[in-house]
A and B are shown apart, each in its own frame.
Chain A
Amino acid sequence: DSGVTQTPKHLITATGQRVTLRCSPRSGDLSVYWYQQSLDQGLQFLIQYYNGEERAKGNILERFSAQQFPDLHSELNLSSLELGDSALYFCASSVGGAAEAFFGQGTRLTVV
């Protein structure tokens, strides 16, 4: 158990819909990362938050947004969903800086 909790584990939704993925980082970790992993693809970096503030942005679509709350949990919002958004979405947390990251079990999103 990495200590990072992601909910839900599975999500099936229709095109055009909006979903929210939730991540609770390890106790004490201030940094949260979101990644998208499609079939046979690597881990695409989406966005990083540190202590409530956006720290870095990767290849995140405009239809996607995220935030980190005062209690340090984070949410990834995906809207106007398309079939191509079907993927495994991972959240990872670290104490910050260049420290090792701990990954959650992921949320598997299926858009039908």
Chain B
Amino acid sequence: GQQVMQIPQYQHVQEGEDFTTYCNSSTTLSNIQWYKQRPGGHPVFLIQLVKSGEVKKQKRLTFQFGEAKKNSSLHITATQTTDVGTYFCAGNTPLVFGKGTRLSVIA
């Protein structure tokens, strides 16, 4: 079945440093979604990418969908302590999630 792999599993950064998490699928995705889960919270939708090569920005967050629609990335510029949490990608229907990347930001 469909598998979505995320790397790295954990990332510790100094506040102000950049952060990137990568998502790779074993199959071509019709779309990809990104979610953020704060510690003790529930996943919250961030964005959806549909088109090959699509790039979307939300303030300091940049999301990319690969040309082959098999991979995606989330890049955060100049991390802040409010960015702490686990970032998940999810592909297709039904929504199958990767294991997530847990981001820690050291002030």
Main secondary structure of the interface of B (DSSP, over half): loop
- Determine which residue in B30, B43, B90, B97 has the highest number of CB atoms from chain A within 10 A of its CB, and name it: B43
Q: Which of A33, A58, A90, A100 contacts B42 (CB under 8 A)?
A: A90
Size of chain B's interface in residues, with CB distance under 8 A? 21
Q: Which of A21-29, A65-73, A79-87, A101-109 contacts B (4 or more CB under 8 A)?
A: A101-109
Q: Can you list, as one digit per residue, whether each of A33-47 has a CB less than 8 Å from chain B (1) or not (0)?
A: 101000001110100
Given contacts A41-B99, A43-B88, A102-B45, A97 and B93 within 8 Å (CB-CB): yes
Chain B min CB distance to A57 (Å)? 9
Q: Which residues of the partner chain B approach A104 to less than 8 Å between Cβ atoms? A: 42
Considering only CB atoms, which chain B residue lies closest to A102 in the complex?
A: B45
State the total of A-B contacts with C-beta under 8 angstroms. Answer: 53
Considering only CB atoms, which chain B residue lies closest to A103 in the complex?
A: B42
Q: Is B39 interfacial (CB-CB < 8 Å)? A: no
Considering only CB atoms, which chain B residue lies closest to A104 in the complex?
A: B42
Q: Which residues of the partner chain B approach A11 to less than 8 Å between Cβ atoms? A: none
Q: List 16 A-B contacts (CB under 8 A).
A: A2-B42, A41-B99, A42-B97, A42-B99, A43-B88, A45-B95, A55-B94, A56-B93, A58-B96, A90-B42, A90-B43, A98-B48, A101-B33, A101-B90, A105-B42, A106-B42
Interface residues, chain B, with chain A CB atoms under 8 Å away: 6, 30-31, 33, 42-45, 48, 50, 88, 90, 92-100
Interface residues, chain A, with chain B CB atoms under 8 Å away: 2, 33, 35, 41-43, 45, 48, 55-56, 58, 90, 92, 97-98, 100-106
